[in-house]
Structure 1
Amino acid sequence: MKSYLIESLAPLVFRSGKPFTSQASAQDVSFPLPSAGAGLVRYLSLSQSNNEQVLNLPKEDFEHSAYQAILNMQSRGPFLVRYSDETDIEILVPKPANALYFENKQTGEKSVVRLEPRTFEQEGELCGSDLPQRLLHVQMTEDLKGKPAKGVSFWALQDFVAWQKGEGLSFDSVNNNGLTSIPIELRTHVAIETDSRSSVDGMLFQTASYDLAHQKTQNGWDNKRLGFLVQTQESLKQDLATLGGERRLSYFKPINLEKNSSLPVELTQDDADKINSDKGFSLSFITPCIFAKGALPDWLDKTTLMGKLPNTKITVALKAMAIDRWQAVSGWDSLLWKPKATRRAIAAGSVYWFEMVEGQFDVQTLQQLSNHIWSDHQQDKNDGFGSAILSPWTAI
């Protein structure tokens, strides 16, 4: 896939579902969904190619093959990036759900504690829970006394990959390489009367937006700024684009990513051998994912929690899940011209652990699954819901 950088020229608005009469706050702005990036790619492809066949079709004829060809365009992202120029770009991904920031009660030292599937025993006897019988409990791998601490919400891609491969990371390195939050700007808007050019009483509203420009620090201006990355097979030219609400402009630029900081993460024969020997792997989502069975993919049996990996002959069993609260997915349907139905998605950062039951990985299968989009519905796959990183895990 080709990579494109979205460089904002103004703070970008990604509103929640609150009415405009509500007072805006930092909670009103939400990270753009994959469908927003997909819509931008399709719009630019259509406008740059000047496809008269589609442009002249009535909106009601959304079953037309020309419309379907647009909807079948695939994209990934948007992913958050931090960069100084187009040759120095680092990808930031949501914090993994199997990492806990922890503050030691005695020393006050902060650390990143790993959460992993384990059997839950107390004084030699199993404890009960309302989890399905075959699922393991996700627990801290260290017995520490203290409390959860605050840390960054976005991790550097290299740290994320290293963590899921089992490497230990210090709190300071994760904090220094990551990002606590995206700066947010609040704006107050007013309706202006045409004749008098004065404000209309009661016609005030506010918007919250992501300010991705260079930020001021104690030592001056930061030499790096934030942006978004989208990937698609479409060949697009540099252009001005509008991502998000209020038609705020951004530059849309083709870029070349360095091999060690690009997506999807490249997997090797060594990774395949380790998964085969350890009899397990984890799947860590870096975008929201929409499954047909709520938290379970359609290819898994709901009773046995077993199934064949998509497009393979490898049978696996789900052993554990670490997932945050479900994420609402909606939007505006530009074909039907009405709001889309709200659906529940697995939040980015969620981690699933699988045990190998039958079959083995080779490097080609592993690379295919590394490129796979894990949502069940084809249109959600096209939109990029369900990008994930696959890593070895020692099954229990």
Structure 2
Amino acid sequence: MTSIFLDPLDVLYLRGNKLFADAGAHGEALMPPWPSLAAGAIRSRLMAEGVSLEALADFRLTQFGLARLHDGGVIEHLWPLPADVIVSDEIALGDATYLRPSTTPAGIASSHALPKLPTLQTEKPGKPVGGLWLTGDGIAAWLAGQPLNAKHFVRSGELWQTDPRLGIALDPKTRSAAEGKIYTTETTALKKGIGFIAAYEGSANKLPAESLVRLGGDGRGAVVRSVTSHTTAPDWARIEKEGRFRLMLTTPGLFSGGWRPDGVPAALVAASVSRAETISGWDIVTNKPKPAQRVAPTGSVYWFENLTGNLTTLKALAQNGFPMEDPARHAEGFGKLVIAPWAV
């Protein structure tokens, strides 16, 4: 497996699947972007180096996410706040609470489709704080099911800023500004040291160190830096002993059952899943749009009980990601996950 850090040289156009063709339209940035951003950039650069399309048939993106590059080439992974963590103290960020699956008391009915409800137990009501990310220490604490505190969080404003840009459409006949077709679009300006960690396998070729790739809309440049990526392993012994675990999506999940994951050797008892997203894109090989597909968003958390058999199947799932009917989406890095014990 080859791990690289994509270090942007300029603002990035991280577009989603929303059109903004009308006059006065606004194009929103997508953060975090889809893993296909990195998969496309890496494969395109490999092909520019002379690698054939056939040689990339077994290419597979195994990891993608936001990261911070420290001195000495040390990588710190950064995660969007998992859906089972709620923080309501806007100032101090000191009241992080885990959602806990609980059985609905008798006499209470809901439309929840699973046996247990993710329940928030707090002393006082509050509004969840948005735009939070877990630091490397926060990720380690979450994977261990340990309490989280303010030092485990970083605000999105410390990682990137949104930079709006004004655009004017061109008339293809006159090659001049088209009347009434002014639009705005958001770009993402990452802070110094912030970029994307990506890992891939299946190709015998590696990107040249310190080479450039075209990243996102308009092909903005990013430097490829060779790094070693270390990830914290969950407490497998505890998971096997308790027979239960949490599962979190680190990239959007594409499932045949909508938001329900496939191929997990345990019983799904609860889930905290944000609003579904739609992925799409452009296939440069066939020169046509990719089909739009609904996915469970990054950060979605699922609780499982009654683990069947040994840990072999579960470890393979954690390493390879969810199986998919569309092999192209699997190769692009969708459906990646982490496993962790239930929170204490």
Query: Do Structure 1 and Structure 2 share a fold, with TM-score over 0.5?
Result: yes
- The answer on whether the counterparts of 1:120 and 1:127 sit within 8 Å (CA) in structure 2 is yes
What is the one-letter code of the residue matched to 1:266?
A
Shift of 1:203: 4.7
Match of 1:137 among 117, 123, 133: 117
**1:358 pairs with 291, 308, 312, which one?**
308
Which stretch of the first structure deviates more once superposed, 235-244 or 42-51? Answer: 42-51
SS in structure 2 of the partner of residue 296 of structure 1: coil
Per-residue deviation, 1:382: 1.5
Q: Match of 1:40, as an amino acid?
A: A
Distance in 1, matches of 2:75 and 2:123, equals: 37
Alignment equivalent of 1:207, drawn from 155, 179, 185: 185
| 1:119 to 2:68 alignment | no
Runs of at least 5 residues in structure 1 that lack an aligned partner in the other structure: 55-65, 215-224, 300-308, 310-314
Q: Name 2:233's counterpart in structure 1.
A: 266
SS in 2 for 1:325: coil
- Distance in 2 (CA, whole Å) between partners of 1:164 and 1:49 is 41
The CA deviation at 1:346 is 0.7
Q: Give the alignment's Cα RMSD to 1 decimal.
A: 3.0
Report the counterpart of residue 93 of structure 1 in structure 2. Answer: 79
CA contact (8 A) 1:155 1:179 kept: no
Tell me the equivalent position of 2:142.
163
Indicate yes or no: 2:62 matched with 1:76: yes
For 1:273 and 1:360, the matched residues in 2 are separated by 11
SS at match of 1:10: coil
- Structure 1 distance, partners of 2:189, 2:141, is 29
Deviation of 1:24 (Å): 6.1
Counterpart-to-counterpart distance in 1, 2:217 and 2:57: 21
> Compared with structure 1, are the counterparts of its residues 297 and 357 closer, same or farther at alpha carbon in structure 2 (3 Å cutoff)?
same
Which one of the candidate residues 234, 243, 246 is aligned to 2:215? 243
Structure 1 residues 336, 116: CA separation in 2 closer, same or farther (over 3 Å shift)?
same
> What secondary structure is seen at the aligned counterpart in 1 of 2:3?
strand
Matched residue SS, 1:211: strand
Residue identity in the other structure for 1:90:
E
Name the counterpart of 1:253. Answer: 225
Tell me the SS of whatever aligns to 1:102: coil
Distance 1:323 1:237 in 2: 39
TM-score (norm 2): 0.86
**Deviation at residue 163 of structure 1 after TM alignment:** 2.1
User: Distance between the aligned counterparts of 2:38 and 2:140, measured in 1?
Assistant: 23
In the other structure, the counterpart of 1:232 is 200
Q: What's the counterpart of residue 57 of structure 1?
A: none
Q: After superposition, what is the alpha-carbon deviation per residue over 1:22-43, rounded to whole angstroms, capped at 9, x for unaligned?
A: 5465844443211121111211
Would the alpha carbon gap of residues 88 and 26 (structure 1) be closer, same or farther in structure 2, given more than 3 Å must change? Answer: farther
Structure 2 letter corresponding to 1:387:
K
TM-score by length of 1: 0.76
- Report percent identity of matched pairs: 25
* Equivalent pair of 1:316/1:356 in contact (CA under 8 Å): yes
Q: Count the aligned residue pairs.
A: 337
What CA deviation, in whole Å up to 9, does each residue of 1:211-243 have, x standing for no partner?
Answer: 1143xxxxxxxxxx3111111124221311111
Amino acid corresponding to residue 32 of structure 1 in structure 2: P
Of structures 1 and 2, the larger Rg is shown by 1
The CA distance in 1 between the partners of 2:287 and 2:27, in whole Å, is 29
Give me the whole-angstrom Cα distance separating, in 2, the residues matched to 1:109 and 1:291.
34
For residues 70-113 of structure 1, what are the alpha-carbon distances to aligned partners after superposition, in whole Å with 9 as ceiling and x for unaligned? 34310134311122446132111111000111249xxx985111
Whether 1:12 and 2:12 are equivalent positions in the alignment is yes
Kindly indicate whether residue 332 of structure 2 is the aligned counterpart of residue 383 of structure 1.
Answer: yes
Letter in 2 for 1:322: S
SS class of match (1:369): helix
The superposition leaves residues 175-202 of structure 1 with CA deviations (integer Å, 9 ceiling, x where unpaired) of 3x453563111122346899x9985643
Q: Do the aligned partners of 1:2 and 1:231 also contact (CA within 8 Å) in 2?
A: yes
Q: 2:294 aligns with which of 335, 344, 366?
A: 344
Amino acid at match of 1:283: L
Q: Deviations over 1:117-170 (max 9, x none)?
A: 11122xxx34222223x5211101x34212124254321143134124221112
Aligned to 1:370: 318
Alignment check: 8 A CA contact 2:20 2:27 kept: no
What is the CA distance between 1:367 and its match in structure 2? 4.1
> Do the aligned partners of residues 192 and 319 (structure 1) sit closer, same or farther apart at CA in structure 2, a change above 3 Å counting?
closer
